[in-house]
Amino acid sequence: MRILKLLNKNLLYFILFCLLISSVSNSNEPVDIWNLKDIKKNDNAELKVKIDKSNIDASSNINLNSTSLVFIEEEEKIESNELKLVGLYDPAENDLNLNMWELSDGEKIIKLVEKIQKKNLSNDAQSIYKKLILTNAFPPENNMNIEEFFDLKIKWLIKQDDLSLIKEFIIKNDKGKFNNKLIKYYLDKNLSIGKVDESCELFSSVKNIPDDDYILKYKLFCFIHKDQRDIAQLQYDLMKESGFDDNFFDKTFNHLMGYTSHPDIIISEENLLDFHLSYLSIKDFSYEPKENTKIFFWRYLSSNNLLTKVNDIDLEDREKIKSFEKATNDGNYKETDLLDLYTRFQFNIYQIISVFDAYKLLPNYEARALLYQAFLVSKDPDTQIRLLELLKNEFDNDNLSSAFDEELLRLIQTIDLQSISLEYSDFYQLQLSKLENEKFKIKYNNKILHQSKLINYFKGETSKEKIEKDLEKMLKKIKKNKKYYFSTKDNILIESFISDGIKISEKYENMLELNKSNIPTDIEVMINDGEIAMILLRLVEIIGEDDLKDLGSETLYFIISTLNKLNIDKIRNDIILQVIPVKV
């Protein structure tokens, strides 16, 4: 019996020793950052096994406290990494990496982002910025905390106003309090456009609901909206027990639950949810927005058909008309509604005939009405174009350009270009250029390097081996052509080929003039320091409001050279295909 006990005890030692060795060897294996949650679950399970084993034989002298501590620390480290990892796209999608922000100074990043946000970025600059700002990555290590890093991304998402993108970001970065601002925006924006179901659906997708009174009130309202009153009551009771105190919400909650029929409340403008609860609770709800009324309230009123109708507006009420124009500019009235309002103004025949002088004597909103009415009665194409140009200027001068952009394009298309004199054709062409279709086909010319079918390599349609052979053949022909001039675009292509490991025969190197991209000094320094994200921010700033195709060849050259040095080939390829080929 004693021998058997001794064998059992030795067996236990052996099992524990094997487990310890296994844990050490496993800790040296590479960690898949995209599987952090699974790692944490496995570590928890293993830790439980260790603890259970340690309790099997209390007489054992093996102390597992240090082992348990290792697993606890590892779990905390994984949780910390999960919390810091912020984004939407896999870095590999665009040849980026998780650490691309870490080496940069947070203060410098914030200053550069602020400069970028003041610009009306072109679609090309916006595309690069979107890939950068939404890629999963850790925050900078210096002068920026996780909240500030999160806020950079949230501000950009709110500015873009893409609700499906915002929802995806919230769900994939379900980190509680960091999402407060973005969740509130998503809820309010959907509510403002009459999509209550979409607002409430978010709560079924997000596990870590922030401990925020406004969001919790919204969630409670959603239970009522979905007719889950038992759950709503339970949620309400829990909130009250935790100290929730909101007299207005209490009254509207009791009304919506059917406990009271005529709540003694007035319209609340504290926030959009309270405003909506006011609308649901007050019989014969009526609200007249003012010029300084929040934009979400305007949209809410418009979505629920609560705005004043065009025919009900008093033309003597100057402030009301100005408010109507502003609301149209913000998208709360249709442009056609505003133009219909302009047709209600009464002008005499002299004002119509002498419109180019008469409009200058009127208040701005009446001037716009006179110009529009004169356009409607005019039959001369030159006069019509002139009137539309003056009308657009009147809108632009009062910062109301969005109140007359769609209708301007529609009206200008009613005029025949052939009947317009050269003097007014520029304005006509400028406006119609906004309707151009930018889907072009590539035109190939195999006598010019950057126009040849070599460009297909950057579309992923040609292998490196084939490109090497085709490039060799083309360079052989070019060498015989003494008049051939290697353009900057040719150099961009060749440097990109070389960067990707495509070999060029030594006998052609003398006729190539490479490495003349003149990368700015500050970017060169950042390349050497490995500040990938900061470099991409600088490129976004440089592109700014310009389309890539409008940048000079030298600027394009250093942009592509920079991306080559960083091995960011996917973004580089997109730019090359955008600007290098001739398109028809």
Written as one string, the DSSP assignment of 47-59 is HHHHHHHHTT-TT
Tell me the residue type at 158.
I
The reported pLDDT for the residue numbered 19 is 44
How far, in Å, CA of 451 to CA of 231, rounded?
66
Backbone angles phi, psi at 531, to 5 degrees: -90, 75
pTM beyond cutoff 0.85: no
The reported pLDDT for the residue numbered 78 is 45
Q: Is 8 exposed, middle or buried (0-12, 13-18, 19+ CB in 10 A)?
A: exposed
CA nearest to 125, candidates 421, 544, 438: 544
How far, in Å, CA of 324 to CA of 308, rounded?
9
C-beta neighbour count of 582 within 10 angstroms: 14
C-beta neighbour count of 21 within 10 angstroms: 10
How far, in Å, CA of 285 to CA of 289, rounded?
13
Instruction: Retrieve residue 437's tokens.
Output: 């279709």
- Cβ atoms of residues 35 and 78 within 8 Å: no
CA nearest to 147, candidates 181, 121, 111, 171: 181
Instruction: Retrieve residue 204's tokens.
Output: 């079924």
Using the Cα atoms of residue 111, residue 576, residue 550 and residue 495 in order, give the sign of their dihedral.
positive
- Cβ atoms of residues 265 and 278 within 8 Å: yes
The reported pLDDT for the residue numbered 81 is 54
Tell me the residue type at 578.
Q
The reported pLDDT for the residue numbered 176 is 65
CA nearest to 324, candidates 301, 291, 302: 291
Spell out the per-residue pLDDT of the chain, length 584, in tens.
333 333 444 444 444 444 444 444 444 433 333 444 443 334 344 333 333 433 434 334 434 444 444 444 444 444 455 557 888 999 999 999 999 999 999 999 999 999 999 999 999 999 999 999 999 999 999 999 888 999 999 999 999 999 999 999 999 988 767 788 999 999 999 999 999 999 999 999 998 888 899 999 999 999 999 999 999 999 999 999 999 999 999 999 999 999 988 778 899 999 999 999 999 999 889 998 887 888 899 999 989 989 888 888 889 888 889 888 988 998 888 999 999 999 999 999 999 999 999 999 999 999 999 999 999 999 999 999 999 999 999 999 999 989 998 999 899 888 887 888 888 888 888 787 766 544 457 788 888 888 889 988 998 888 889 989 998 888 888 888 878 888 889 889 999 999 999 988 888 877 777 767 789 999 999 999 999 999 999 999 999 999 998 999 889 999 999 999 999 999 999 999 988 888 76
The reported pLDDT for the residue numbered 350 is 93
Backbone angles phi, psi at 468, to 5 degrees: -60, -45
CA nearest to 134, candidates 94, 174, 177: 94
How far, in Å, CA of 552 to CA of 547, rounded?
11
